[in-house]
Amino acid sequence: MVERRFPDGFLWGTATAAYQIEGAVDEDGRGPSIWDTFSHTPGKTFEGHTGDVACDHYHRWPEDVHLMQQLGAPAYRFSIAWPRILPQGTGQVNQRGLDFYDRLVDALLQAEITPFVTLYHWDLPQALQDRGGWAARETAEAFAAYADVVARRLGDRVKHWITHNEPWVVAFVGHFLGVHAPGIQDARIAIQVSHHLLLSHGHAVPAIRAASPDAQVGITLNLSPVRPATEAEEDRLAAQRYDGFLNRWFLDPLFGRGYPQDMLATYGELAPTAQTGDLDAIAVPIDFLGVNYYTPAFVRYDASVLNPLKAILVPPEELQAAGYELTEMGWAIVPDGLYELLIRLQRDFAPSTIYITENGAAFADQLEDGAVRDPKRIAFLHDHFAAAHRALQDGVPLRGYFVWSLMDNFEWAHGYSKRFGLIYIDYETLERIPKESYAWYSEVIRANGLVQ
Ligand SMILES: N=[N+]=NCCCCNC(=O)[C@@H]1[C@H]2[C@H](O)[C@@H](O)[C@H](O)[C@@H](CO)[C@@H]12
């Protein structure tokens, strides 16, 4: 008996990204991306892992589509590799790159799986990085031109488009922390990059709509509820600033309010350079907001003069000592954080539609006697699905949920050391082995809800 049933037509799905699963980095005319450069730079990734082969999805995609079909998920979110489409970032289009995604989309539709296409999931053509990358305003225009090329080819069959995946991570993990490509550590550049990413979104949306009639277009943000470490005033104010840094910096301009005044004041002369019309472009109406939720941000005041934010994340070991269970990423498992986030989004921004475009967890999965028992992942997903159901009951316009990830894959700086998949990948043989959570999720999809 289904206790927590989801609305009819709820879009259950799985999610992946090009550089994390495809491999075939030198095949069929693909050009290098900044992640090819970064992962081949000594010391940047776990044990020097690269995406050169990854899950070899570029060649094994028919088997992967079959696994999706067996799972029974009605939707699949994947990203298109810009360097396969425009190897130099602009100019000459690589038809063989377009052909790959054309075949994949046709196979998904044949399998009655709705494709959700992410246009940018971090693999910027290196040729554009050589011309300034996202720190250069021209890259925003190049992105809109790339979106136009892809939407013209696939827009008759792809009706759900996501311009960007997690611009916060691209800007601040890639250009401030420097632990992602292109590995820059400069606050001013990172803030300017966040502006150019949003601007590129604003210019891509009309291009997609023009080429893909009645398409639904949105953007995916990594968002978290922000919780102060203590009720002390300084921690509560730090949490407010961190909420501005992580959430409101992107949500406010996308929903037509311009950049948050408190953050412009906090950033001072680090604030981005914008041109007339930029904010209007960024505020172009979207059909849905994609939300990637993993864990809340637990924040405390930090007096360091080197930190304009004067707020830092509470370290994982403290969270563990406080009683939180952690995933292999060191992220606290807080299903209620998803409910809290969705209710806040509905209250403060009221998007017409929300999709959870990523939620999932890495655990220390072991292959034993040809099987992978992953009870922790089942519990994680169960509890987060229950939180999403509660939000639905409280009026949140949630229309779908994509589990990260369909299969184990290249986890960026962590390489292949972190496993998020519903399907285990044996990286020696590239064999796909569905984990117990795959069968469990298949049951949830068939019942369209949780049975206990
Ligand atoms: N310092 N630091 N960093 C904090 C980063 C938190 C947000 N990371 C994500 O959301 C990434 C998202 C990504 O889309 C996917 O490509 C990744 O594989 C998953 C799993 O990691 C998640």
Is the Cα torsion angle 341, 344, 349, 350 positive or negative in sign?
Answer: positive
> Ligand 1 centroid vs 145 CA: distance in angstroms?
27
Confidence band for 1, pLDDT divided at 50, 70 and 90: confident
Distance from C-alpha of 405 to C-alpha of 360, rounded to nearest angstrom: 7
Distance from C-alpha of 79 to C-alpha of 350, rounded to nearest angstrom: 26
Q: What number does the ligand 1 atom closest to the CA of 166 have?
A: 14
> Ligand 1 centroid vs 292 CA: distance in angstroms?
9
Which of 22, 166, 340, 411 is labelled catalytic?
166
Q: Report ipTM for this prediction.
A: 0.94
| pLDDT value of residue 227 | 98
> Ligand 1 centroid vs 169 CA: distance in angstroms?
7
| pLDDT value of residue 12 | 98
Is 231 annotated as catalytic?
A: no
Q: What's the average model confidence in pLDDT over 284-297?
A: 98
Q: Is residue 222 within 6 Å of ligand 1 at its C-beta?
A: yes
Q: What's the average model confidence in pLDDT over 101-105?
A: 99
> Ligand 1 centroid vs 271 CA: distance in angstroms?
25
Q: Which residue has the higher pLDDT, 330 or 306?
A: 330
Q: What number does the ligand 1 atom closest to the CA of 405 have?
A: 18
Which candidate, 120, 108, 275, places its Cα nearest to that of 195? 275
Tens digits of residue pLDDT in 359-368: 999 999 999 9
Q: What number does the ligand 1 atom closest to the CA of 414 have?
A: 21
| Res. 452: pLDDT tops 80 | no
Of all protein residues, whose CA lies closest to atom 17 belonging to ligand 1?
Answer: 411
**Mean pLDDT across the chain:** 98
| pLDDT value of residue 219 | 99
Calculate what percentage of the chain has a pLDDT beyond 70: 100
Q: Is residue 166 within 6 Å of ligand 1 at its C-beta?
A: yes
| pLDDT value of residue 213 | 87
| pLDDT value of residue 3 | 85
Tens digits of residue pLDDT in 340-393: 999 999 999 999 999 999 999 999 999 999 999 999 999 999 999 999 999 999
Q: What's the average model confidence in pLDDT over 396-403?
A: 98
Which of 22, 340, 358, 411 is labelled catalytic?
358
Tens digits of residue pLDDT in 151-203: 999 999 999 999 999 999 999 999 999 999 999 999 999 999 999 999 999 99
> Ligand 1 centroid vs 91 CA: distance in angstroms?
31
Confidence band for 305, pLDDT divided at 50, 70 and 90: confident
| pLDDT value of residue 281 | 98
Q: What number does the ligand 1 atom closest to the CA of 331 have?
A: 6
Is 166 annotated as catalytic?
A: yes
| Res. 306: pLDDT tops 90 | no
| Res. 70: pLDDT tops 80 | yes
Of all protein residues, whose CA lies closest to atom 21 belonging to ligand 1?
Answer: 411
| Res. 406: pLDDT tops 90 | yes
Q: What's the average model confidence in pLDDT over 133-139?
A: 98
